[in-house]
Structure 1
Amino acid sequence: MSTIERLFDLKGKTALITGGSRGLGLQIAEALGEQGAKIVLSARKADELQAAQAHLQSLGIESSWIAADGAKDTDVARLADDALKTLGHVDILVNNAGATWGAPAEDYPVEAWDKVMNLNIRGLFLLTQQIGKRSMIPRGYGKIVNVASIAGLKGNQPGTLDTIAYNTSKGAVVNFTRALAAEWGEHGITVNALAPGFFPSKMTRGSLEALGVDRLSAGAPLRRIGDDEDLKGAALLFSTDASKHITGQILAVDGGVSAV
């Protein structure tokens, strides 16, 4: 095996991926699994997880699943317990589960604010805390990959999206990534974040319909939105020893939108 092949090899590694039943989470699961990682997927709906597992198995990827709601503290605790029982330890934690809600800031329902914040940042913190304390810190190794968003780097164009809770939560994920990287680096744990732009998914369907794919593509230097493969390389980088000297970084995968 060449040096490059070794750096990107995940044989013998384990990965827990939240929000892994579809969209970007499943895309990441494919990338890590194809490199040899044993995968545990988590999301709320068992039927979608079963379908995702069958898809991964069709690709020759060893996987299992745990249904859990990342917005509920009890579910997060159970997810950590069950994942550690299934895998023995967690080498890679991908925090991808997320939600959004659209409404003008002046009329934004507090219930919607709490729903978005509880899943996007509170649940992310609680799961990371459990996996870090119980698996990564004791073993002196871990790769934490948080899925933020370019929405966490800026506001929205006037007259487009009213997603103040989502933007705020993803901004929190960005600085959570930096702060935790600084704190846990001494334990051999890297903490990085991906900041996707627009990708087709169930969560973004409404936004894509409202804004228009052609309009969004025209505003990107690469003149396109993301596809089913565009997050894989970046996710693999942050999940493997190829990034052993990279931590606390936010990588935008957005076709250049954040550069202009």
Structure 2
Amino acid sequence: MNDLSGQVALVTGASSGLGAHFARLLANNGAAVGLAARRLERVEALAAEIREVGGRAVGLALDITQPGTFAAAFDRIEAELGPINILVNNAGVSGEGHVLDLSVETWDETFDVNVRGTFFAAQEAARRMIASGVAEREQARIINIASILSHTVLPGLSAYCASKAAVAMMTRGLAKDLAKHGVAVNAICPGYIETDINAEWFRSEGGRKQISRFPRRRLMDASDLDAALLMLAGPSGAKITGSLLTLDDGQSM
């Protein structure tokens, strides 16, 4: 059911955290994987790791805030791996700051990465999925990584929450426009998982107090998202589009 043999995926923000986890997951289920991030040495190391166990992978430098570079990145992945039919739009930044202190630069960076970059990566992927014929064969998937903070809010994260709310609505807009072309677009809204972005916070007293207020008093694991990602990426995702899947262990209740 989750066999992705013959499929080609691109994962943005693949140098660590959820992006690296998703890349391994897709590769372990048969997909060839392009790994994109600003930290080239990390994605190249992960690509080598995947190749060492028999997978197909290529790592490349990509700054999601520079849409003008997307065509060259997609060209390289398609030249080395084949036509892309799965995009996991995972790149993101935290955009921390109280509303009274938040700088224009932090606000702009948050939206440049989380919203603008996500949109134009999806646009480039969709154009290629349509041109290559994978969309017509109902194999085209775009999976945006949003957050439970697209529909809940925490102090000091107004920019991040606003950006992820934009990703959620943008997902539905992309799905609407691309439905007739055969491209399925969905978003996963994860709960709190310890990553490079939040690890320091969750080790602090404030972070531990936050965890204590969750209904199950725990963080999630990246593997808790596996079933949803594989469902949306694989054959069973052909008839799912415009959906926002909240997976948060009840944290937003």
The answer to whether the superposition gives a TM-score over 0.5 is yes
Give the 3-state SS of the residue equivalent to 2:24 in structure 1: helix
**CA deviations over 1:64-115 (Å, ceiling 9, x no partner):** 1111110123333332332333333111000000012221112211111111
Contact 1:10 1:37 in 2 (8 A): yes
**Matches for 1:112-123 after TM superposition, within 5 Å:** 112-123=106-117
Whole-Å separation in 1 of the counterparts to 2:192 and 2:83 = 33
The structural deviation recorded for 1:221 is 3.2
The letter of the residue matching 2:9 is A
Instruction: Please report the TM-score for the alignment, with normalisation by the length of structure 1.
Output: 0.89
1:46 is the counterpart of 2:40: yes
Give the 3-state SS of the residue equivalent to 1:39 in structure 2: strand
**Matches for 1:123-138 after TM superposition, within 5 Å:** 123-136=117-130, 138=132
- 1:99 is matched with 93
Contact 2:225 2:247 in 1 (8 A): yes
The structural deviation recorded for 1:32 is 1.2
Give aligned pairs, total: 249
- 1:82 is matched with 76
**Matches for 1:1-260 after TM superposition, within 5 Å:** 7-136=1-130, 138-139=132-133, 140=136, 141=138, 142-156=140-154, 161-210=155-204, 214-258=208-252, 260=253
The letter of the residue matching 1:148 is A
In the alignment, structure 1 segments of 5+ residues that lack a partner are: 1-6
**CA deviations over 1:177-236 (Å, ceiling 9, x no partner):** 111111111122111111111111111123323465643443333432122412211111
Sequence identity of aligned pairs in percent? 33
The structural deviation recorded for 1:255 is 1.1
Distance 1:167 1:197, change over 3 A: same
The structural deviation recorded for 1:46 is 1.2
Q: Is the deviation greater in 45-54 or in 30-39? A: 45-54
Give the 3-state SS of the residue equivalent to 1:42 in structure 2: strand
Whole-Å separation in 2 of the counterparts to 1:99 and 1:61 = 29
Contact 2:202 2:208 in 1 (8 A): no
The letter of the residue matching 1:242 is S
Contact 2:56 2:81 in 1 (8 A): no
Q: Is the deviation greater in 97-106 or in 33-42? A: 97-106
Whole-Å separation in 1 of the counterparts to 2:54 and 2:214 = 35
Whole-Å separation in 2 of the counterparts to 1:117 and 1:238 = 25
The letter of the residue matching 1:153 is H
**CA deviations over 1:35-85 (Å, ceiling 9, x no partner):** 100000000011111222233234433211111110123333332332333
Distance 1:214 1:106, change over 3 A: closer
Contact 2:13 2:92 in 1 (8 A): yes
Whole-Å separation in 1 of the counterparts to 2:98 and 2:210 = 21
Whole-Å separation in 1 of the counterparts to 2:205 and 2:174 = 35
In the alignment, structure 2 segments of 5+ residues that lack a partner are: none
- 1:3 is matched with none
Contact 1:196 1:253 in 2 (8 A): yes
Pairwise CA RMSD of aligned residues?
Answer: 1.8
Contact 1:197 1:253 in 2 (8 A): yes
